Amino acid sequence: MKNGVGRGAIVLIVSGFICKLFGAMFRLPLTNIIGIEGIGAFQMIMSLYSLMLVLTTGGVTTSLSKLVSQARARGERGKIAGYLRISLYFSVGLSLIIGGAFFIFARSIASAQGIGANYISYRLILPLLFLGALIGCIRGVIQGYENMTPTAISQIIEQIIKFAFGLLFAMLLGKKGMGVFGAFVGITLSEVLAGFYLVFYMLTKVKLPKYDSSVVIKPFFKAVVPLSLAGGVLPLTHAVDSLVIVGRLAIAGIGAEVATSLYGLQTGVVGAILNFPLIISLSVAMALLPKISYLSGKGDLEGQKKSISTSFSLLWLFLLPLVFGLMALSPVLYPFIYPNAIKGFLSQAVSLTMVGGVSIILSAIMQFLLSILQAKGYYTYSFVITLIGGIIKVLIVIFMSALPSVNIFALPLSNIFLALIISILAIIKLGGLVKIPAFEFFTPLLSSLVMFMVVWIFIKALSFSNFVMIVFSIILGGITYLLLCLPIIKSLIVRYFGKHLRREENNE
């Protein structure tokens, strides 16, 4: 059942790219179906739903992953069934309470965001949170065994069903002015089927040790409370963004309709594209957490350092070319994939991509470091530094978005400061545990900058169809980056696969 960091990360990265592909395929036609103002409303609802999902589930999944892996390392397997039981009581119960509040106060919440006509979509948050709680608990236990495959499969199921039925219902109900609600109906159905798969897998494939009535409540809540609070900070800042951005942009002289469109542009168009590389950092962090927890439980400090170093080098090697590639491609990419919605907003989209690219790189580092903090049991510290970063982010958005010269750019700028502050504070706490070879850090960075300049010049110098420019730019950029990074690629292959070959020889 165990995958290990490398294999687990690869499984999640592959599934992540598949999910992002379907996610993009969902978001692109959805934007054209409900319009850029509609996608702005969709993102506002999603921001609150994401916040509630993190509060009810995010800390639970992470806590279970750590606690289960730690119980395995210490030979306390009898606690695993207890952790699952208490997590279901807590997460499902909380989801029903919060979801019920959204169901009752849907009209008021929608009106507060300035999208009162879309209030009915908020009522679907009740079943969505319940299903999310169930899914999150099961994923946490399975990930604690360092098995990432069921999580990957369930994520793919979610995306395929969301793509097929979300678009279908958005199109059908869009004729009645309820396209946003139709999209959420499809998302709800996707969670139902993913939940069925995980429950079936849990009942048939996972042999939980018999519950021995060990004390599990105190360690569970010691982990889950600060992790849930820490996990809720970032979605909370995004929810605050959605609540205040229209009013703050009005002070900057931007009308409500254009403000909603700009918010949709940043979060639903540029954000949808730029968040693509975060698949890598999230996958590596998710696979690394139970591994570091396991090694920490064993007291293996050198093993932790090696796992962290190799994992970051892999993350860095694949993350940077994706981010810089998207930045360079943005002038031809957006008109190709958003032929209707992007009209009149192309220059803003390109500029937002340049600023947002920096925030994505820093956010990936932040995710990686936070996973190590959580794996080491620094729950409260993780929450405190995330809270500090979140407060600064909110203040930047509130004050800077009202400036005509900044306006919507306050969002990506605030993300830069948030990730930078959290990363610096995390490194201070972890100290010498995180050591990355300078060659493996700077070579991908410099290679990505060279690749960016090559592709940017190529796009500016020639004028073909957007599709042709995208294809040849990817080929040119890919060859440039691979040639410059070849020494590191060879080194990582030898380091990772050589280690596993030696392990297999020893086993024989």
Most confident range (mean pLDDT) of 230-239, 245-254, 461-470 is 461-470
Amino acid at 70: Q
pLDDT 10s digits, 81-133: 888 888 888 899 999 999 999 899 888 888 877 777 778 888 898 999 999 99
> Residue 452: its pLDDT value, please?
96
Q: What is the pTM of this model?
A: 0.74
Give the model's pLDDT for residue 294. Answer: 73
pLDDT at 13 over 70: no
Lowest model confidence (mean pLDDT) among 68-82, 195-209, 384-398: 68-82
Interatomic CA distance for residues 374 and 66, integer angstroms? 8
Residue 68 token pair: 């289960």
Q: What is the mean pLDDT of residues 344-372?
A: 90
What the block records as the tokens of 161 is 């069903």
Q: DSSP for 11-73, please give it.
A: HHHHHHHHHHHHHHHHHHHHHHHHHHHHHHHHHHHHHHHHHHHIIIIIHHHHHHHHHHHHHHH
Give residue-wise pLDDT tens across range 382-392.
889 999 999 99
Q: What percent of the chain has pLDDT over 70?
A: 91
In the predicted model, what is the mean pLDDT of residues 1-30? 66
Residue type, 15: S
Query: What is the pLDDT confidence band of residue 492, given thresholds at 50, 70 and 90?
Result: low
Q: How confident is the model at residue 414 (pLDDT cuts 50, 70, 90)?
A: very high
Give φ, ψ of 344 to 5 degrees: 85, -5
The Cα 423–Cα 358 span in angstroms is 14
- d(CA 260, CA 79) in angstroms, rounded, equals 49
The token pair that represents 501 in the structure block? 């070959």
What does the domain layout of the chain look like in residue ranges? 5-436
Mean pLDDT calculated for residue range 214-239: 78
Other Cβ atoms within 10 Å of 484 Cβ, number: 18
